[in-house]
Structures are given as structure tokens and as C-alpha cells.
């Protein structure tokens, strides 16, 4: 605190002192302030400091200081690592970019993964600014130092740097880099092997094809059969990149044995990874291998004994089917995939069912009208009756796919009970979720069906005992009015909403006001008749309500209604009411009434007047 | 090495802690743990403190005085808390400490009380920045008008400073009391076990943990057993074991499924009907389970014995050692004074050839597996002269008491050794009596 009191008050403007130095001096001093926030601020303005010091002092004084300040809090180190990635010009341009390596090297060995990753990201960035000579003289030795570091933190960081220097160095250095990568792939600590496995695909991309076949494949095979499943599962990701690099004819011998093994791995986490990456794998290996190998593998994953794996596979059903070769897509789906899908509909695990429900509707566009009606429809109907609300919700939220293929009418008989049940679910979050799908359903089912079957539900939500539901129901009304138009609103919604103005429960009376606010908003000027003739009198009458909350909401509503009224109505009807409210005994009512008066265009002419003239 | 009962002799090296007989509750040692190199030794106490000792660089001129352990860092790991929802006090007592494999120049450990696990970083600093623009080093402000150039601070050497900083707090995942934590060989996850559940954490993620074992019955009245200890296999990242109050050990394979409700192996010894008594179930409860360093065996401690199990044989232990069989006739009084519920821990030596565990009267026991020999030693102030050789102790189980023997009736049950630790490579052991930490080492000839 003394710091703030001191020199800041006697702001320097002396004859000797240099005005422009003062703020920089503060920034530099705050690099070592006790308050983390101040240090962080200073680090974030490191470029200002460097600019003031000039390139030479930045290189010789600032960077050595920063190299040793790795004791700091993570957030400061993270900011520093990021700053240094953009520092090339501040140290004198590409010629001197290697001066940034020491601080980034020490940041690449700290224990916090986020900081290390950021340091590696910055190192990758500045590697591009090194000349080919500097890259070999300065950058590559740093990579080697990290790769042979004592602690695994530095070795993990090295894994991310090979791919950026490899393309730009001589063939001897290339050979060394490959050797280093190979060593890290068989490191003692699983941390390093994981880092190597996760960078394998990226490194493969910059290697010459011959080396991909000779080096990478053996490393890939070794990592994919590592004793630690946390390493094996990362090899699955590498599989995607490697498969894209190899010519089709080599895939069978070089990649597929490993992939098959991963799909049947003893550890569920590895199989989960295969399921999770299935679409990418499918694209990488191409249609022929997909037909022969991936289809049976996918069937097995859908029938896996671990629910997590089944759920991941179920999530991919639509994508997998979409990407099947078109010539016999339908046949593969009908004979191989659909039987498994049918079983999943009655799975014992609700996450599996709900994952399936979120994609299953997508199959209808692929299979066409007849198959959908014959084979998929019974599944949809079964899921609509599922005991788990999430499954039903997922089906309802994807109705649009089916609507396009067979029309929603096929489903409507089952849809309605499902919706009604969700609408009355004991959990308010479930009710909230179904409300959010109402506008979509209304659009697909049409106004007639809606009025007949769903309107009552929408109105019932307005008097739900949970505020979040009433709020969502109000918002739902707005969307319905936008969809069906003001005329529909006038006939179906407005009378019911206005009816609630006399409800004994003041929360319901407030809901009336909230609904009026949104209806005014979407009907707007062209339908101002609804507002002036029907809604305004009710609002004005409510200003006499005995509950203060209702009264100040009247003030708020009047402010919203104002713009669509003409100045006559404003002056003769609205203004007196607001003035009365402005002298209310309740201070909130007063406040909002005054807000409305000053916000209202009571004194000047309104939009309506302008339009009329 | 030779067996402790044979050629090797143990001698006193150091004792840590207050000498007076008045023991403050907060000073009672509740856990002892060497790090992976043995260079550091951590203790936790009932007062929520962690004390770390560092082994000094060996003194070449006096080879008989091997490197001593001196205080390296002391910090308050846990504070007493109050759970307002359940109206429960949460003790600050450190239940377990586990070191992480070293990842950079700093050291990391996990410490836990009943509810909350914390990750601590212990790091050294030997440089400090010097040079301000706006003030002198002593803090006086300079006249800003005199600033004519900018000064970048420089780092200058200073006396070594050891800092302990909390890096992560893993809270709100345990309804019951945490009894074990164990770091996985994958170096990125660890487990924490309470009476009824085991959770799996990622070391970098504090807001989420996965429940991997849950033995809580739907109806708590049907509860018949609790989890007493849990540990990961030293090399197989997918394998862990947990022991129960019924004397069984379950081995689970995390590859098989996400929730390890079904064990893949159940280690259980059939009960000897002739020994059956009211106390059978209480004394068969396992208080500690430890894998051997090579991962082939595990050791369990129950009230009266230590058992070594081969992971490939579930129906009986390969070795059983009696720790203090003479107490079998005393179970009634041990039940009355609650001693029967004491949770003794056990540990392996560096090459898995000897195991050690504690007993009463400040005695501790070593069992040489190869030579089938055992020894009882005592940690006491009387034997605490430098390099003094520990004399084996004998308890007289009845009949006529020989010279040098101690009668069962004169054992002091308030002096118990629950926590011991063995250096990962060398013959150096740390033995916690109530509020003292004794360090012994083998005699170098």
C-alpha cells in the first residue's frame, strides 16, 4: 500500500527527470511487486517495457532477468510464455530471435502443463522466424537439450518441437531428430511416452514417406501396444494421421493390424477412443477397408460390454452410416448396423440410449421414406416412450430430420403423450427443456394441431410454480407469436393472458405483465390495435394492485408499451397513471414510475405521431 | 543385505521431536513417508502440519555417521474446519502423505485429512531480484525527479530458501473419512479411498473425480464391511487393490469397466474354526495393504499378524508372520481400552526381502522373508546414543520369565508404533512413536 502512496502523488515533472520514463519505471518495478495482479499487469505490458529499453537492453538485461523468474505464479508464467511468442521485433528482429530461447526453455520445464504448453506454442511460433542457419545453431540444440533433460517435464515439451524444425534442417540433423523422437517414444516415464504418442501424427506429417514407413510405423506399433493404456489410447489418434499419409495399398499391412488390435483392446478406455475417433478413422482408411474391417469393428463397439464404449459408438451411428460408400450403404446399414441399433434402443444404460436418441433420427434421411416407416419408426416410437426423459427429449429435439422424410404426422399420435408427460415432469429442468422445443414443434406440427393439443400446455406453464419455467413460457409465447402471427396471438393468446390479470396469485398477475411486454414487442406498430384496445386498459387497471411488485411492473410495462401508443393516449391515459405511481408509498414503485416518466417520450411526440404526420 | 535377525545390526541414528513426557495432542505423528529417492522424509501430525527432513550430503571424513536427516521444510497443510451442513468438525490431522515421482527440480506431495486432499510443491530458491527504479533497496522512495534512466532488476544469490506452496485442492468428493491415497504409475492419476467409496482423480483437475468403487448398500442398516485401505499397483496402471474390515482384499482391473464394482480377484484366507471368538472379526480387519516394490506380492496387516500374498494365489497368503501373538489372550482388555481398533501400518524394505511393522510398548518388528527370522526392536530414549546398537527385545508369553524378557502384563499399551517407513534403497528406517520420530540405520563395519 505504501507503494501506491509514495511517488505517485508527487507526479514527477522535474527539470532533470524524464516524464516519459516514469510510467515505464513503475511497470518495471511492479514486475517484482508482491501483488500477483500487479505483476501480471506488468508482464502483460512487457512489450511497452521492452520498447522503452530498446532492443539491446531488452536482450542483455530484461531477458536474462525473465529467464530466472520462473518461481512465479502460474498465471504470470502463462502470460510471460505468451508474450515471448510475439517478441521477435522487440529484441531486434529475426537476426536476434534466438535470444528468446533461454526464457522459453526454462518455462518449458515448469510443472504446470498449461504453462509448458504455452511455452512450446511460443517456441513453435518463433522457430519460423529463425533463419535456417540459426535454426541449426540455436534452436535445434535447445530441442536436443530438452529431449535429453533430467526431468520428464522438459522431455514432454521437446515432443512438440520436433515437427517444426525437422523440415528446415540438413539431413544429418534430420537423422538426429528422428533418433531423439525414437528415444522419447520408449522413455521410462509414461508422461513422456504419452507426449510422444500425441505428437506422433504431427511428426509423421513432416517426415519423408520412406521414413514414415520405416520409422513411424514401428514407433506407432510399439506405442499402440504399450503396457499403459493411457499411452495406447493416444496411438489411436495418431492412427488417423498416419493412415491419411500412407498410400492405400500399404494401409492393410502397416496400419490395420494395429487398428484391429486397438478395437479389441482389453482396456475399455482404448476401445472408447476407437469409438470416439471412428468417423475420422473411417475417412482415413477409405471405403474398401471400411466395408471389410470397420463395419464388423463398429458392430462390436455397439455391442461392447462397457456402457461408456457403447455410448461413444452410439453417438457415431449417424456419421458412420452417412460416410459409408454409397453403392451399398443401404444394404450395410440394413443388415449390419440396424440390428445393433435395435438392441441399443432397449439398452440397460440410459446414457447409451440417450446418445443413440440424439442421432438416430438422422438415419431416416439416409434410408429414405419406406425404410424409415418400416424399420425406424418403431424405434422412434419406442424411444418416445422411454422411461428416461433425456432419451425422449433427444428424440423430440431432432424431429426435423424425420419431418423432412416422412412428415411428422406419422409420429404425432405418439408424440403428444410424450410431450405431455415431459411437460408435466416433476423435474423442472426437464420441463424447461421441452419448453425450449415448443416453437420448433409448433412450426412442424402446424397451427391447427398446436391449437388443439399443445396450446393448453403452453398456457399451463405460465402458472408453473418455478419462476424459470414461467420465464421460459413467456419467452416461448414470444416465439410462437413470431411464428403464427399477431392475429393468432389476438385470438388465442391475448384473452387467456389478460384473464390472468384477475388471478388471486400476484405471481400470476405479474406473468400477465411479462407476457404483455413480449407480445407488444413482437406485434409492434402494425398491430397496435391489440395493444391500445385490449392490453393497455388491463395494464392501467393493474396500477391499483395491492401488491407493490405488480405496481412497479406496471410502470415497467408502460415504458415498454409507450413507443406504440400515440401521444394522445400517452398524455391522457398513461401519464396520469405513472404520475400517480410516482407518488406511491413504496419506494421501488416510485423509482420505476419515475424511470418510466423520464424514459417515456411523454413530452415529445412519439414514433406513432411521427408516422401519422 | 543379511537378515535383521542375523548378521545385520540396527543402530540409533537420530530422534526428532520434543523430549518431555507431556505430549501435546497436535504433535502426535500420524504418518511417515520417504520420497522415491529416500533423500526426503515427510511426516504429518494431528496438528495438520507436514515436516520434511532432508538427508545431508554424506560426510566423507566420518563414514560411520551416515548422512543425517535434517529439517528441510515445515508447513501447515490442513486447518481445522467445520462442516455447517452436517454440524461436523473436520479434524486437521494428516491421514496420509504420498510423494509424486519427481517431475522437475521441485518436489511434490499429496497430503490428506479426513475430507480434503492437497497437492503441495516444495521448491528451493537461491536468488533474489535486486534494484528498483522508484525506491531504494531498503524501501525508501526516491525522488522521482532524479530518475534519468531505467533500471532492470538483476538476480543476485541469496541464502537457500525452501518454499512450500499449495498447488491444488481436491475437495468435496468424500462423504466418509479418507483412509488412503495412492498415486498411479501413469503419473497422471491417483485414487482416494474412504470407508465406502474409492475415487479416481486426475492430478491436474480438482473439480471432478470418478467414482470407481462404491460399496455403500442402498440401506445403511445392511452395512457389513468398510474399506480400510487401497493402493495402486506399482507398475500396472490399471490394477489396484482395496482391503476391507472383514479381512478380504479385492483386486480390481480398471480396463474391464469404468466402475470397478466387480473385482477380478478376491484374496481371502479361510478362517480357522478353532480360533473363532467374539473378536475374530475385529482382529481380522486389515489396517494396511502395501504392494512389494517388484509388484509381485502384497502385504496386509491385521491386528495380530502380517500376511504376504502372491498376486497369483487368492486362497491363502504365502507367508504369515505373527506380530504379537501373546496378545491373543489379552483381547478382552484390549477391546475395553479400544486398542483393538488401532490401525498398524506396515512397510517393505528396498528389495522386498524384509518387512516391518509396529507393536505396543514402542516395539517394532522385522521379518526376514528369506531366512524366516524375526526380531523385536524398541524405539526409546534410553537407546538414543549415537550409533548405539539396538538390542533385540523378547516378550515373555507366559510361564517362567527369563532374564531380559518383558512380561506381557508390563507392556505399555499407550506407547504404540503405528507408522514406520523404510528408505527405498538403503537400510535406513523411520519409526514414529507417539510424538517422536526415530531414525535407525544398519551398522556399517
**Contact at 8 Å (CB) between B206 and B188?**
no
Note whether A500 and A611 are same-domain residues.
yes
CA atoms of A394 and A391, how far apart (whole Å) = 5
Residue of chain A minimizing CA distance to B239: A228
Residue of chain A minimizing CA distance to B154: A65
Tell me if A393 is assigned to some domain: no
Nearest residue to A347 (alpha-carbon basis) of A358, A355, A359 = A355
Report long-range pairs for B61-65 (Cβ below 8 Å, ≥24 apart): B63/B444, B64/B387, B64/B444, B65/B386, B65/B387
pLDDT digits 0-9 by tens, A184-238: 999 999 999 999 999 999 999 999 999 999 999 999 999 999 999 999 999 999 9
A19 touches chain B (CB under 8 A): no
- What is the grid cell recorded at A396? 423430440
pLDDT > 90? residue B261: no
CA atoms of A577 and A596, how far apart (whole Å) = 11
pLDDT digits 0-9 by tens, A438-467: 888 888 888 888 888 888 888 899 989 999
CA atoms of A99 and A437, how far apart (whole Å) = 58
Expressed as residue numbers, the domain containing A94 is 1-129
Q: Which residue has the higher pLDDT, A603 or A105?
A: A105
CA atoms of A527 and A531, how far apart (whole Å) = 7
Tell me if A329 is assigned to some domain: no
Tell me if A469 is assigned to some domain: no
Q: Do B149 and A21 touch (CB under 8 A)?
A: yes
A-B Cβ pairs (cutoff 8 Å, strict): 135
pLDDT digits 0-9 by tens, B303-329: 999 999 999 999 999 999 999 999 999
Q: Which residue has the higher pLDDT, B297 or A408?
A: B297
pTM: 0.83
Instruction: Pick B10-442's CATH classification: 3.40.50.720, 3.40.50.1220, 2.130.10.10, 3.20.20.70.
Output: 2.130.10.10
Q: Is A310 exposed, middle or buried (0-12, 13-18, 19+ CB in 10 A)?
A: buried
Look at residue B296 in the predicted model and tell me its pLDDT.
Answer: 96
Nearest residue to A297 (alpha-carbon basis) of A275, A319, A312 = A275
Domain boundaries, chain B: 10-442
Length of chain B measured in residues: 445
Tell me if A431 is assigned to some domain: no
Nearest residue to B294 (alpha-carbon basis) of B233, B219, B372, B366 = B233
Q: Do B148 and A267 touch (CB under 8 A)?
A: no
pLDDT digits 0-9 by tens, B180-235: 999 999 999 999 999 999 999 999 999 999 999 999 999 999 999 999 999 999 99
Q: Of the residues A105, A129, A153, which one is the last residue of a structural domain?
A: A129
Optimal mutation site among A1, A3, A4, A7, interface B, most CBs of chain B within 10 A = A7
Please report the DSSP string for B203-246 in residue order: TT--S-EEEEEE---SSGGG----EEEEEE-SS-TTEEEEEETT
How far is it between the farthest Cα atoms of chain A? 92
Tell me if A123 is assigned to some domain: yes
Contacts of A267 in chain B (CB under 8 A): 238, 254-255
B37 touches chain A (CB under 8 A): no
Note whether A86 and A173 are same-domain residues.
no
Q: Of the residues A206, A231, A263, which one is the last residue of a structural domain?
A: A263
* Interfacial A residues in 309-348 facing B (CB < 8 Å): none
Note whether A174 and A246 are same-domain residues.
yes
B166 touches chain A (CB under 8 A): no
Query: Given the DSSP bridges, would you call strands B405-407 and B394-396 parallel, antiparallel or unpaired?
Result: parallel
Question: Look-up: residue for cell 469393428?
Answer: A297
Look at residue A192 in the predicted model and tell me its pLDDT.
Answer: 96
CA atoms of A561 and A570, how far apart (whole Å) = 10
CA-based nearest distance B386→chain A, Å: 37
| Strand order, beta sheet including B96-99 | B96-99, B107-112, B117-130, B154-170
Note whether A492 and A538 are same-domain residues.
yes
CA atoms of A200 and A163, how far apart (whole Å) = 9
The region of weakest confidence among A478-482, B25-29, B90-94, B166-170 is A478-482
Note whether A524 and A553 are same-domain residues.
yes
* Interfacial B residues in 124-143 facing A (CB < 8 Å): 125, 127, 129, 132-135, 139, 141-143
Look at residue A598 in the predicted model and tell me its pLDDT.
Answer: 83
A54 touches chain B (CB under 8 A): no
Which of helix, strand or coil describes residue A19?
A: coil
The region of weakest confidence among A279-283, A593-597, B64-68, B275-279 is B64-68
Note whether A53 and A106 are same-domain residues.
yes
CA distances from A506 to A423, A474, B196 (A): 23, 16, 49
CA-based nearest distance A427→chain B, Å: 23
CA atoms of A182 and A218, how far apart (whole Å) = 10
Note whether A88 and A159 are same-domain residues.
no
* pLDDT band at A19; cut points 50, 70, 90: low
pLDDT digits 0-9 by tens, B117-152: 999 999 999 888 888 888 877 778 887 777 788 899
pLDDT > 70? residue A603: no
Look at residue A109 in the predicted model and tell me its pLDDT.
Answer: 93
Q: Of the residues A263, A285, A302, which one is the last residue of a structural domain?
A: A263
CA-based nearest distance B310→chain A, Å: 21
What is the CA A475 to chain-centroid distance, rounded? 23
Torsions phi, psi for A52 (to 5 deg) = -70, -35
A50 touches chain B (CB under 8 A): no
pLDDT digits 0-9 by tens, A40-91: 999 999 999 999 999 999 999 999 999 987 778 889 999 999 999 999 999 9
Q: Do A267 and B255 touch (CB under 8 A)?
A: yes
Tell me if A560 is assigned to some domain: yes
A2 touches chain B (CB under 8 A): yes
Residue of chain A minimizing CA distance to B157: A68
Nearest residue to A539 (alpha-carbon basis) of A519, A525, A554 = A554
A262 touches chain B (CB under 8 A): no
Nearest residue to B119 (alpha-carbon basis) of B108, B127, B129, B130 = B108
* pLDDT band at B62; cut points 50, 70, 90: low
Look at residue A393 in the predicted model and tell me its pLDDT.
Answer: 87
Look at residue B63 in the predicted model and tell me its pLDDT.
Answer: 56
Tell me if A319 is assigned to some domain: no
Q: Do A21 and B106 touch (CB under 8 A)?
A: no
What's the angle, vertex CA A591, arms to CA A589 and CA A595, rounded to 5? 115
Optimal mutation site among A1, A5, A6, interface B, most CBs of chain B within 10 A = A6
* Helix boundaries (H) for A264-322: 268-276, 278-289, 295-302, 307-315, 317-322
CA distances from A423 to A142, A409, A474, B89 (A): 63, 20, 15, 43
Tell me if A400 is assigned to some domain: no
Note whether A81 and A188 are same-domain residues.
no
Mean pLDDT score across all residues of chain A: 89
Percent residues over pLDDT 70 in chain A: 94
Look at residue A18 in the predicted model and tell me its pLDDT.
Answer: 56
* Interfacial A residues in 191-230 facing B (CB < 8 Å): 191, 194, 227-230
CA atoms of A414 and A437, how far apart (whole Å) = 16
CA atoms of A257 and A251, how far apart (whole Å) = 9
Please report the DSSP string for B33-95 in residue order: EE-SSSSEEEEEETTSEEEEEEEPPP-SS-TTS---EEEEEEEE----EEETTTTEEE-----
Using CB atoms, pick whichever of A18, A52, A110 lies closest to residue B148.
Answer: A18
Residue of chain B minimizing CA distance to A308: B258
Note whether A182 and A97 are same-domain residues.
no
CA distances from A457 to A412, A421, A435, A463, A516 (A): 16, 11, 9, 10, 19
Question: What CATH number is attached to the domain comprising A169?
Answer: 1.25.10.10
ipTM > 0.95 (yes/no): no
Q: Do A154 and B104 touch (CB under 8 A)?
A: yes
Mean pLDDT score across all residues of chain B: 91
* pLDDT band at B3; cut points 50, 70, 90: very low
* pLDDT band at A12; cut points 50, 70, 90: very low
Q: CB A327: neighbour CB atoms within 10 A?
A: 10
- Domain count for chain A, please give it: 3
Note whether A103 and A216 are same-domain residues.
no
Amino acid at each position: 500500500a505504501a507503494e501506491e502512496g509514495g511517488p505517485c502523488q508527487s507526479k514527477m515533472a522535474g527539470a532533470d527527470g524524464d516524464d516519459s520514463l516514469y510510467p515505464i519505471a513503475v511497470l518495471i518495478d511492479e514486475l517484482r511487486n508482491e501483488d500477483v495482479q500487479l505483476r501480471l499487469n506488468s508482464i502483460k505490458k512487457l512489450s511497452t517495457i521492452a520498447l522503452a529499453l530498446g532492443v539491446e537492453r531488452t536482450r542483455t538485461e530484461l531477458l536474462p532477468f525473465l529467464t530466472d523468474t520462473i518461481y512465479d505464479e502460474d498465471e504470470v508464467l502463462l502470460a510471460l510464455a505468451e508474450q515471448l511468442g510475439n517478441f521477435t521485433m522487440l529484441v531486434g528482429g529475426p537476426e536476434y530471435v534466438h535470444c528468446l530461447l533461454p526464457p522459453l526453455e526454462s518455462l518449458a520445464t515448469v510443472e504446470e502443463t498449461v504453462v509448458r504448453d504455452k511455452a512450446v506454442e511460443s517456441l513453435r511460433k518463433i522457430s519460423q522466424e529463425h533463419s535456417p542457419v540459426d535454426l541449426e545453431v540455436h534452436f535445434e540444440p535447445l530441442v536436443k537439450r530438452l529431449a535429453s533433460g533430467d526431468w520428464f517435464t522438459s522431455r514432454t515439451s521437446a515432443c512438440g518441437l520436433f515437427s517444426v524444425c525437422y523440415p528446415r534442417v540438413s539431413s544429418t540433423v534430420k537423422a538426429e531428430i528422428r533418433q531423439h523422437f525414437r528415444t522419447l517414444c520408449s522413455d521410462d516415464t509414461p508422461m513422456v511416452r504419452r507426449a510422444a504418442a500425441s505428437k506422433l501424427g504431427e511428426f509423421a506429417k513432416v517426415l519423408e514417406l520412406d521414413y514414415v514407413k520405416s520409422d513411424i510405423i514401428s514407433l506407432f506399433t510399439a506405442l499402440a501396444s504399450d503396457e499403459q493404456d493411457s499411452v495406447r489410447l493416444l496411438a489411436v489418434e495418431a492412427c488417423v494421421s498416419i493412415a491419411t499419409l500412407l498410400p492405400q495399398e500399404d494401409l492393410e499391412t502397416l496400419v490395420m493390424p494395429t487398428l484391429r488390435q486397438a478395437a479389441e483392446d482389453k482396456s475399455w478406455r482404448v476401445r472408447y477412443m476407437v469409438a470416439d475417433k471412428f468417423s475420422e478413422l473411417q475417412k482415413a482408411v477409405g471405403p474398401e477397408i471400411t466395408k471389410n474391417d470397420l463395419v464388423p469393428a463398429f458392430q462390436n463397439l455397439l455391442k461392447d460390454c462397457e456402457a461408456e464404449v457403447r455410448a461413444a459408438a452410439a453417438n457415431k451411428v449417424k456419421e458412420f452410416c452417412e460416410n459409408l460408400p454409397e453403392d451399398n450403404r443401404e444394404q450395410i446399414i440394413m443388415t449390419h448396423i440396424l440390428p445393433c441399433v435395435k438392441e441399443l434402443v432397449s439398452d440397460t444404460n440410459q446414457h447409451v440410449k440417450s446418445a443413440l436418441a440424439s442421432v438416430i433420427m438422422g438415419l431416416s434421411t439416409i434410408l429414405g421414406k419406406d425404410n424409415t416407416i418400416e424399420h425406424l419408426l418403431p424405434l422412434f416410437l419406442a424411444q418416445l416412450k422411454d422411461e428416461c426423459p433425456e432419451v425422449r427429449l433427444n428424440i423430440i429435439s431432432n424431429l426435423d430430420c424425420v419431418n423432412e422424410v416422412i412428415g411428422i404426422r406419422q409420429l404425432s399420435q405418439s408424440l403428444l403423450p410424450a410431450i405431455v408427460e415431459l411437460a408435466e415432469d416433476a423435474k423442472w429442468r426437464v420441463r424447461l427443456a421441452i419448453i425450449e422445443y415448443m416453437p420448433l414443434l409448433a412450426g412442424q406440427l402446424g397451427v391447427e394441431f398446436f391449437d388443439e393439443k399443445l396450446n393448453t400446455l403452453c398456457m399451463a406453464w405460465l402458472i408453473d410454480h418455478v419462476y424459470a419455467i414461467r420465464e421460459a413460457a413467456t419467452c416461448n409465447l414470444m416465439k410462437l407469436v413470431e411464428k403464427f402471427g399477431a392475429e393468432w396471438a389476438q385470438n388465442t393468446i391475448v384473452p387467456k393472458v389478460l384473464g390472468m390479470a384477475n388471478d388471486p396469485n400476484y405471481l400470476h398477475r405479474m406473468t400477465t405483465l411479462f407476457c404483455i411486454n413480449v407480445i407488444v414487442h413482437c406485434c409492434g406498430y402494425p398491430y397496435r390495435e391489440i395493444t391500445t384496445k385490449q392490453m393497455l386498459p388491463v395494464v392501467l387497471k393493474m396500477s391499483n394492485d395491492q401488491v407493490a411488485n405488480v405496481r412497479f411492473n406496471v410502470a415497467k410495462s408502460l415504458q415498454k408499451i409507450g413507443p406504440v401508443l400515440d401521444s394522445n393516449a400517452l398524455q391522457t391515459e398513461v401519464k396520469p397513471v405513472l404520475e400517480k405511481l410516482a407518488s406511491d408509498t413504496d419506494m421501488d414503485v416510485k423509482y420505476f414510475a419515475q424511470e418510466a416518466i423520464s424514459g417515456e417520450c411523454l413530452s415529445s411526440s412519439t414514433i406513432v405521431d411521427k408516422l401519422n404526420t | 543385505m543379511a537378515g535383521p535377525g542375523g548378521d545385520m545390526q540396527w543402530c540409533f541414528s537420530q530422534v526428532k521431536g520434543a523430549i518431555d513426557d507431556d505430549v501435546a495432542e497436535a504433535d502426535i505423528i500420524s504418518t511417515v513417508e520417504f520420497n522415491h529417492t529416500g533423500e526426503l522424509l515427510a511426516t504429518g501430525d494431528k496438528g495438520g502440519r507436514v515436516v520434511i527432513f532432508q538427508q545431508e550430503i554424506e560426510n566423507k571424513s566420518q563414514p560411520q555417521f551416515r548422512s543425517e536427516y535434517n529439517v528441510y521444510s515445515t508447513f501447515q497443510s490442513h486447518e481445522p474446519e467445520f462442516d455447517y451442513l452436517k454440524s461436523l468438525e473436520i479434524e486437521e490431522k494428516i491421514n496420509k502423505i504420498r510423494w509424486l515421482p519427481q517431475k522437475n527440480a521441485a518436489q511434490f506431495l499429496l497430503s490428506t485429512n479426513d475430507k480434503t486432499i492437497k497437492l503441495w510443491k516444495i521448491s528451493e530458491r537461491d536468488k533474489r531480484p535486486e534494484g528498483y527504479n522508484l525506491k531504494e533497496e531498503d524501501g525508501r522512495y526516491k525522488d522521482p525527479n532524479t530518475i534519468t534512466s531505467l533500471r532492470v532488476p538483476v538476480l543476485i544469490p541469496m541464502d537457500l530458501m525452501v518454499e512450500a506452496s499449495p498447488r491444488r485442492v481436491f475437495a468435496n468428493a468424500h462423504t466418509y473419512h479418507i483412509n488412503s491415497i495412492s498415486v498411479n504409475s501413469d503419473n497422471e492419476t491417483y485414487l482416494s479411498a474412504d470407508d465406502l467409496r474409492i475415487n479416481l482423480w486426475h492430478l491436474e483437475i480438482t473439480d471432478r473425480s470418478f467414482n470407481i468403487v462404491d460399496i455403500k448398500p442402498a440401506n445403511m442398516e445392511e452395512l457389513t464391511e468398510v474399506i480400510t485401505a487401497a493402493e495402486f499397483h506399482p507398475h500396472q496402471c490399471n490394477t489396484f487393490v482395496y482391503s476391507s474390515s472383514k479381512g478380504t482384499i479385492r483386486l480390481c482391473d480398471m480396463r474391464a469397466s469404468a466402475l470397478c464394482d466387480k473385482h477380478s480377484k478376491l484374496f481371502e484366507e479361510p478362517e480357522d474354526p478353532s480360533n473363532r471368538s467374539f473378536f475374530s472379526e475385529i482382529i481380522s480387519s486389515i489396517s494396511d495393504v502395501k504392494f512389494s516394490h517388484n509388484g509381485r506380492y502384497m502385504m496386509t496387516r491385521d491386528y495380530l499378524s502380517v500376511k504376504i500374498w502372491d498376486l497369483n494365489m487368492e486362497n491363502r497368503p504365502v507367508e504369515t508372520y505373527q506380530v504379537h501373538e501373546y496378545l491373543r489372550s489379552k483381547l478382552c482388555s484390549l477391546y475395553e481400552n479400544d486398542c483393538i481398533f488401532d490401525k498398524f501400518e506396515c512397510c517393505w524394505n528396498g528389495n522386498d526381502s524384509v518387512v516391518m511393522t509396529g507393536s505396543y510398548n514402542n516395539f517394532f518388528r522385522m521379518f526376514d522373508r528369506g531366512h524366516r527370522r524375526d526380531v523385536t526392536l524398541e524405539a526409546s530414549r534410553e537407546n538414543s546414543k549415537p550409533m548405539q546398537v539396538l538390542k533385540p527385545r523378547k516378550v515373555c508369553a507366559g510361564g517362567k520369565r527369563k532374564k531380559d524378557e518383558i512380561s506381557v502384563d508390563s507392556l505399555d499399551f499407550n506407547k504404540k508404533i503405528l507408522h514406520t517407513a523404510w528408505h527405498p534403497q538403503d537400510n535406513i528406517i523411520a519409526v514414529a512413536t507417539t510424538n517422536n520420530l526415530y531414525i535407525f540405520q544398519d551398522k556399517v563395519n
